[in-house]
């Protein structure tokens, strides 16, 4: 639930984005920043969350993040203009504590290869949320208006606080280092080439999905003329693939190995986008082709993200919380930039091509990142070797 709510916040309201643009009497480009600013603040917070949780424990940081999220959601509901809404939307990013620390909790409990499997199973459950989230959001938007999405988020946020308070024990003993010393641990991670390789593998592979989040509402409404409910049904396509990718990670990561699973995932993302580009080049592009092939992006991310995340957390196991936050910040920060870029490049008359190119180039760079990790890991003799 911790991971799932974080995923739901990102995309449940996107089918209602055109209606929200009309409500706030503003431009699509401005309101589309609700994705980019959320991801940007999300990235900054992830840098802080890791050291804070390593110092004070996972449980209190998760609880405070959920409380701030609920207050910010109330602010979104009562916003009177787009700028006030975007301000509270930025504050909603506090829920990222749940996503980051759910992974750190798993890594606290399990060794590296087994942790990859367990994170795969956790995120497999999480993947159901973005699959059904836009569908529910589109239906709520059509039936009750866009604010219904945020009412649902508030109810779920309150439920999460109750569940964590009652059920989540502390998995991390408090560090003897001061908070300043915790932050000074970052250079140890930043000096590790393999940490950078894993973090960039996750960031570049998932970058295709974040660009999709920024551009797909425009593609669905402007290029293919879909209604909010129809867009919600199509929008969840990557989550279908993500579900099966996470299932495969849970089942095979311990057997196949982290690096090879990341490479397979990166190749799946790139190949799916190459096929999509070919279809559009032949003039056969359609909503079914565009959104249908997004399942390969989800499938590849389902293979890549749990394994690349586990690799990043396992380079320095004693810094798992810090590594989770920093790797997440790199991934989400890149996602924020790509989401904003997609929104900037898409306008009436461009069609889907700008988004396809952004996603394809990003995915190819992800393949290069994991290949560099594999070369270095082979040279050092495995995951547990010193960098």
The 3-state secondary structure of 75-104, one letter per residue: HHHCCCCHHHHHHHHHHHHHHHHHHHHHHH
- What's the distance, CA 383 to chain centroid? 25
Q: Which two tokens stand for residue 326?
A: 């920093």
In a domain, 182, yes or no: yes
Report the chain's mean pLDDT, rounded to a whole number.
Answer: 83
Total number of domains constituting the chain: 1
Q: 179's torsion region: left (phi>0), alpha (psi -120 to 50) or beta?
A: alpha
Q: Which pLDDT value is given to residue 159?
A: 94
Contact 103, 308 (CB under 8 A): no
In a domain, 386, yes or no: no
Q: What tens digit of pLDDT does each residue of 179-231 get? A: 676 667 777 777 888 889 999 998 888 888 888 877 888 888 888 888 877 88
- Name the residue with higher pLDDT: 117 or 47: 47
Alpha carbon distance, N-terminus to C-terminus of the chain: 35
Q: Which pLDDT value is given to residue 320?
A: 67
Q: What tens digit of pLDDT does each residue of 8-18 get? A: 888 788 888 88
CATH number for the domain that contains residue 256: 1.20.1250.20
Using CA atoms, how far apart are residues 122 and 81, in angstroms rounded to an integer? Answer: 37
Q: Which pLDDT value is given to residue 385?
A: 45
In a domain, 226, yes or no: yes
In a domain, 173, yes or no: no
Q: What tens digit of pLDDT does each residue of 25-74 get? A: 887 778 877 877 888 888 888 778 877 877 777 888 889 999 999 999 99
Q: Which pLDDT value is given to residue 386?
A: 44
**What's the angle, vertex CA 356, arms to CA 239 and CA 83, rounded to 5?**
75
In a domain, 287, yes or no: yes
In a domain, 387, yes or no: no
Nearest to 98 by CA among 189, 10, 37, 210: 10
Q: Which pLDDT value is given to residue 174?
A: 63
In a domain, 201, yes or no: yes
In a domain, 385, yes or no: no
Enclosing domain of residue 73: 2-168+178-380
Q: Which pLDDT value is given to residue 131?
A: 67
Q: Is the pLDDT of residue 384 over 60?
A: no
Across 196-205, 239-248, 275-284, least confident range = 239-248
Q: What percent of the chain has pLDDT over 90?
A: 27
CA dihedral 306, 97, 53, 164 (to 10 degrees): -100
Using CA atoms, how far apart are residues 182 and 175, in angstroms rounded to an integer? Answer: 8
- Name the residue with higher pLDDT: 232 or 274: 274
CA dihedral 146, 46, 250, 361 (to 10 degrees): 80
Residues in the chain: 387
CA dihedral 266, 270, 275, 280 (to 10 degrees): 140
């Amino acid at each position: 639930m911790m991971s799932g709510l974080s995923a739901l916040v990102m995309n449940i309201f996107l089918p209602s984005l055109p209606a929200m643009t009309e409500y706030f009497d503003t431009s699509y480009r401005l309101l589309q920043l609700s994705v980019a600013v959320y991801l940007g603040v999300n990235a900054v917070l992830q840098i802080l969350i890791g050291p804070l949780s390593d110092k004070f424990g996972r449980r209190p940081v998760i609880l405070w993040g959920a409380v701030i999220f609920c207050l910010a959601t109330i602010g979104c509901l009562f916003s009177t203009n787009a700028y006030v809404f975007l301000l509270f939307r930025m504050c909603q990013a506090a829920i990222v504590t749940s996503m980051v620390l759910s992974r750190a909790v798993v890594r606290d409990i399990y060794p590296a290869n087994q942790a990859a499997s367990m994170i795969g199973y956790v995120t497999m459950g999480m993947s159901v949320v973005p699959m059904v989230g836009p569908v529910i959001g589109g239906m709520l938007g059509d039936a009750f208006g866009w604010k219904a999405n945020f009412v649902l988020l508030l109810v779920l946020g309150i439920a999460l606080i109750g569940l964590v308070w009652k059920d989540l024990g502390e998995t991390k003993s408090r560090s003897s280092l001061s908070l300043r010393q915790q932050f000074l641990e970052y250079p140890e991670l930043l000096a590790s080439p393999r940490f950078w390789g894993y973090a960039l593998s996750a960031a570049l592979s998932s970058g295709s999905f974040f660009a999709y989040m920024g551009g797909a509402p425009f593609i669905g409404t402007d290029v293919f003329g879909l209604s909010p409910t129809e867009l919600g049904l199509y929008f969840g396509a990557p989550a279908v693939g993500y579900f099966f990718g996470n299932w495969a990670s849970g089942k095979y990561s311990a057997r196949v190995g982290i690096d090879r699973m990341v490479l397979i995932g990166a190749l799946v993302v790139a190949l799916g986008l190459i096929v999509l580009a070919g279809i559009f080049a032949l003039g056969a592009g359609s909503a079914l082709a565009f959104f249908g092939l997004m399942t390969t992006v989800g499938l590849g991310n389902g293979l890549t993200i749990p394994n690349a995340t586990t690799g990043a957390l396992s380079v320095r196991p004693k810094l798992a919380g810090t590594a989770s936050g920093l790797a997440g910040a790199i991934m989400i920060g890149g996602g924020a930039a790509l989401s904003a870029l997609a929104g900037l490049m898409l306008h009436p008359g461009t069609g889907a091509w700008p988004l396809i190119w952004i996603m394809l180039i990003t995915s190819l760079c992800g393949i290069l990142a994991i290949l560099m990790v594999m070369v270095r890991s082979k040279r050092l003799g495995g995951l547990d070797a010193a960098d």
